[in-house]
């Protein structure tokens, strides 16, 4: 049975569960995969009283060949076989064979932590992880004020190794589990940035408590910063909008830079602060077929206020959905640089033993039909921030956004 919650970006180091799954060699994965399929097939056969269920039918795995390989493993393996570990490892291997970094199996223990990843505090370096087109582990966004940012990590940095061990072939989840650790311990990342020579960065882990929404007034303009789309984001954003309204702000800057995403429902809720009820927030497609969409719910407290949305290379998933929704519905102008391009839809299926399967089921498109996944969203006004400007505490992107809103107010 499906959980009903769709996660539009669930690969953050800053919030990811501290998974304890072992990382098997290809040979072990194959062997273990055989075991779990055999156990499953045997269970089906016994339950149905059908001894012939070991033979594959159309669309099923060949249990006969599985049985042959497992027999060799059981006979020749030098060591003990723990059935629970084999079962969990097998399921992980089976799912990883789909070759999608966002499709993952979670054991019951892992699933408990996974479901808490968007709330509370974690211990890590404070960086959101993802993959690029080459399936390399990359930094999506270092979280403001935390060790990764202080160490100089940037969006799209490739994490080539963790503590000297290559990340080649490692899933995002696997990288997360290696980077996470106890507070005040160190982890060394080997970083590749563009064409520059790889370099090592050693970072001290710390407890990370991530704020979801911050807001303030800058004269007649309300400034709202959303760092991620969590369970409490809509409530906090609504409070900010109410404060803007009570203080008679005349325009809004919505800052989604460095926002790695979160829950679709939160993106819909935030977009609804501007949009009329029923206006499209995002389309869900499989291939070229639209299989669903999400619409604004009403309660648009900020309707009619001139709005500029800030985006950058660290804006991903739910933040891209929100930016695309406000832009395509004619509500907001986009300022900054092209967003990350994480537009795949993950849905979670819960199993009776407490384990879960997070599986990619579709792709997100903006209301105008623009593909978000691997494409990103381009700003209307491109403004970059140089290293020198950042070091000096300057923010030309925010300055430009405030300037544009002020011009609309006048």
Q: Does residue 13 form part of some domain?
A: no
Q: Are 302 and 371 contained in the same domain?
A: yes
Catalytic residue flag (residue 232):
no
**C-alpha dihedral, 315 to 319 to 322 to 325, nearest 10°:** 40
Catalytic residue flag (residue 374):
no
Catalytic residue flag (residue 317):
yes
Q: Are 219 and 203 contained in the same domain?
A: no
Go through 360-389 and write b for each residue having 16 or more CB atoms within 10 A of its CB, e for each that does not. bbbbbbbbeebebbebbbebeeebebeeee
Q: Are 327 and 247 contained in the same domain?
A: yes
Q: Does residue 47 form part of some domain?
A: yes
33 contact partners, CB below 8 Å, separation of at least 6: 90, 93, 94, 97
Distance of alpha carbon 72 from alpha carbon 69, whole angstroms: 5
Q: Show which of 157, 189, 209 is a domain's final residue.
A: 209
Q: Which of 317, 339, 344, 355 is catalytic?
A: 317
pLDDT at 128: 84
Distance of alpha carbon 76 from alpha carbon 81, whole angstroms: 12
Q: Where are the alpha helices (DSSP H) in 77-151?
A: 83-96, 108-114, 147-150
Q: Does residue 243 form part of some domain?
A: yes
Q: Are 231 and 361 contained in the same domain?
A: yes
Q: Does residue 253 form part of some domain?
A: yes
Q: Show which of 154, 184, 209 is a domain's final residue.
A: 209
Average pLDDT over every residue of 78-86: 81
* Model confidence pLDDT, tens digit, residues 343-355: 988 888 999 999 9
Task: Indicate if the pLDDT at residue 38 is higher than 60.
Answer: no
Retrieve residue 164's tokens. 């000297």
Q: Show which of 209, 237, 257 is a domain's final residue.
A: 209
Q: Which of 342, 358, 398, 400 is catalytic?
A: 342
388 sits in which H/E element:
helix 387-391
Nearest by Cα to 128 from 96, 99, 153: 153
Distance of alpha carbon 321 from alpha carbon 334, whole angstroms: 13
Q: Does residue 262 form part of some domain?
A: yes
Question: Total domain count for the chain?
Answer: 3
Given a contact cutoff of 8 angstroms between Cβ atoms, the answer to whether 277 and 221 are in contact is no
pTM of the model: 0.66
Q: Where are the alpha helices (DSSP H) in 195-334?
A: 233-246, 264-271, 318-328
Q: Does residue 12 form part of some domain?
A: no
Q: Are 242 and 315 contained in the same domain?
A: yes
Q: Which of 178, 328, 344, 398 is catalytic?
A: 328
Query: How high is the mean pLDDT of the chain?
Result: 83
Distance of alpha carbon 229 from alpha carbon 209, whole angstroms: 14
Phi-psi region of 156 (alpha: psi -120 to 50; beta: other; left: phi over 0): left
* Model confidence pLDDT, tens digit, residues 282-324: 999 998 899 999 999 999 999 999 999 999 999 999 999 999 9
Q: For residue 57, what are the domain limits?
A: 22-102
Nearest by Cα to 268 from 4, 1, 29, 6: 6
The full DSSP string for 320-338 is HHHHHHHHHTTSEEEEES-
**270 vs 210, higher pLDDT:** 270
**93 vs 186, higher pLDDT:** 186
Q: Are 262 and 375 contained in the same domain?
A: yes
Q: Are 387 and 283 contained in the same domain?
A: yes
Query: What percentage of the chain exceeds 70 in pLDDT?
Result: 83
Q: Are 258 and 402 contained in the same domain?
A: yes
């Amino acid at each position: 049975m499906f959980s009903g919650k769709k996660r539009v970006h669930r690969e953050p180091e800053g919030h990811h569960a501290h998974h304890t799954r072992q990382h098997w060699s290809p040979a072990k994965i194959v062997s273990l995969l055989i075991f779990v399929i055999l156990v499953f097939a045997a269970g089906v056969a016994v339950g149905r009283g059908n001894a012939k269920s070991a033979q594959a039918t159309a669309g099923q795995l060949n249990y006969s060949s599985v049985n042959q390989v497992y027999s060799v493993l059981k006979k020749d393996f030098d060591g003990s076989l723990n059935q629970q570990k084999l079962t969990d490892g097998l399921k992980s291997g089976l799912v990883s064979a789909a070759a999608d970094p966002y499709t993952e199996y979670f054991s019951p223990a892992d699933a408990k932590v996974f479901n808490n990843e968007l709330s509370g505090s974690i211990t890590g370096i404070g960086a959101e992880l993802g993959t690029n087109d080459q399936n390399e582990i990359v930094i999506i966004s270092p979280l403001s004020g935390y060790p990764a940012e202080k160490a100089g990590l940037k969006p799209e940095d490739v994490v080539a190794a963790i503590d000297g061990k290559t990340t080649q072939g490692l899933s995002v989840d696997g990288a997360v589990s290696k980077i996470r650790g106890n507070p005040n311990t160190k982890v060394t990342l080997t970083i590749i940035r563009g064409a520059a020579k790889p370099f090592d960065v050693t970072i001290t882990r710390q407890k990370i408590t991530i704020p979801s929404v911050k807001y303030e007034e800058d004269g007649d303009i309300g400034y709202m910063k959303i760092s991620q789309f969590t369970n409490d984001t809509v409530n906090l954003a609504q409070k900010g909008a109410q404060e803007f309204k009570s203080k008679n702000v005349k325009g809004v800057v919505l800052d989604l830079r460095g926002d790695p995403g979160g829950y679709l429902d939160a993106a819909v809720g935030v977009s609804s602060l501007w949009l009329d009820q029923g206006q499209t927030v995002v389309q869900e497609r499989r291939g070229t077929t639209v299989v669903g969409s999400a619409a604004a719910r009403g309660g648009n407290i900020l309707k009619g206020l001139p709005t500029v949305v800030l985006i950058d290379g660290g804006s991903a998933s739910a933040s891209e959905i929100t930016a695309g929704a406000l832009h395509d519905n004619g509500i907001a102008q986009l300022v900054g640089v092209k967003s990350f391009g994480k537009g795949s839809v993950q849905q979670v299926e819960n199993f009776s033993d407490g384990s879960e399967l997070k599986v990619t089921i579709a792709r997100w498109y903006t209301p105008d039909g623009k593909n978000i996944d691997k494409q990103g969203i381009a700003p209307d006004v491109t403004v970059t921030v140089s290293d020198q400007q950042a070091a000096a505490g300057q923010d030309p992107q925010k300055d430009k956004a405030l300037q544009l809103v002020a011009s609309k107010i006048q």
